[in-house]
Amino acid sequence: MSRPVSDAHATAWRTRQVPVPAQVVDGVWAVPVPLHGSALRSITVFLIETGDGLVLVDAGYDHPSCWASFQRSVAAIGQRVDAIAAVLITHNHPDHVGFADRVRAASGARVVMGHADDFATMHRRRGTFLDQLRAALDLTGAPPDVVATMYADAVAVAAHPENLRLDTALTGETELRFGEVTLRALPAPGHTYGHTVYLDSRGLVFTGDTMMAEGPTQLAIVSRPADDPAADLFRTLASLRDLGAAIACPAHQFPYRDVAARAEALAAFHHDEVETVRGLVRDGVTAWDLARRMTWKKPWDELGRGTRRFALVHTLALLRHATADR
């Protein structure tokens, strides 16, 4: 189990509360934002004080309640939204890109994200999120009625615009300077194909959804023949292990120490998942067959419908990796 930077933050998360804003280190604030209508409950965005203005990492849902909560929290810690100079987005999921445009309108901030997660790029290469999900569900071997139901459920909750325009689309490792603060943007695929983490020169790494304090990483959607997000994640975790960062700041749960140990433990967990799948693989076996035999937090039949969809798509990614050399 990871060592939290703030016991209060960790306790609030573990008791299903939304933590209050808190300083991680001098000049870096964790700002939890409640997520309207989401089982995730909240996302933690981060504000970094620099000589060139504030830098925001991630941006909640595009929902009035998220925006209002964020504005109140920024004021409560003595900062101003119109002082935000840049929005650094870890990946293109709706709980991360949501109010980036509102910040840009309020402050003139530039919006930055990895090139592969730029919506325009993603649409050209892969299609929309729902295009990718439908392709993945068809690849799982699930019965047609299950695929139809899972897809319909996703449509109901994924009705968000994929039209955020970036000011900077990052390609490869990039150094970003803001006054006296240097942030290295590092490609970190696995959860999405363009996921990016940001390493602060003071020893913090903003990990988005790649490496939480507890639990597994949800693997990216497999929709194209060459996709292998598990392989991507293992490379990313090796990179995070070797960064030398003292504190990880994930977008959910809570900031924590022992970054290298956490990277090793998470890699070991997912390697065990792959080995479990390898042990179950037989000719003609499908992700649908495997998902119902895997170990989840609850037995398969007791999982919620949305959780079963995530588990099935995750199993497809494990199967892709487990059979990559066959």
User: In 10 A of CB 196, how many CB atoms?
Assistant: 26
Structure tokens at 135: 């392709």
* Beta pairing class for 168-170 and 174-178: unpaired
pLDDT in tens, 234-287: 999 999 999 999 999 999 999 999 999 999 999 999 999 999 999 999 888 999
Query: To the nearest whole percent, how much of the chain has pLDDT over 90?
Result: 90
CB 48 within 8 A of CB 200: yes
Buried b (16+ CB within 10 A) or exposed e, 249-259: bbbbbbbbebb
Read off φ and ψ for residue 216, nearest 5 degrees.
Answer: -85, 175
**Residue of 47, 133, 45, 129 whose CA lies nearest to 90:** 45
Q: Helix or strand or coil: residue 130? A: helix
Q: Helix or strand or coil: residue 199? A: strand
pLDDT in tens, 134-171: 999 999 999 999 999 999 988 877 667 899 999 999 99
How far apart, in Å, are the Cα atoms of 129 and each of 15, 134, 322? 32, 9, 24
270 Cβ contact partners less than 8 Å away, ≥ 6 residues apart: 216, 217, 230, 233, 234
Whole-prediction pTM: 0.96
Q: Is domain 7-322 given the CATH code 3.30.1330.10 in the classification?
A: no
Which amino acid would we find at residue 177? R
Which band of pLDDT confidence, cut at 50, 70 and 90, is reported for residue 325?
low
pLDDT in tens, 85-107: 999 999 999 999 999 999 999 99
CB 43 within 8 A of CB 60: yes
Structure tokens at 238: 């090796």
Please report the pLDDT score of residue 220 as a whole number: 98
- Give the torsion through C-alpha atoms of 41, 97, 317, 140, to 10 deg: 80
Give the integer Cα–Cα distance in Å for 148 and 153.
Answer: 9
Give the integer Cα–Cα distance in Å for 300 and 95.
Answer: 26
What residue segments make up the domains of the chain, in order of their start?
7-322
How far apart, in Å, are the Cα atoms of 77 and each of 27, 51, 73? 11, 17, 6
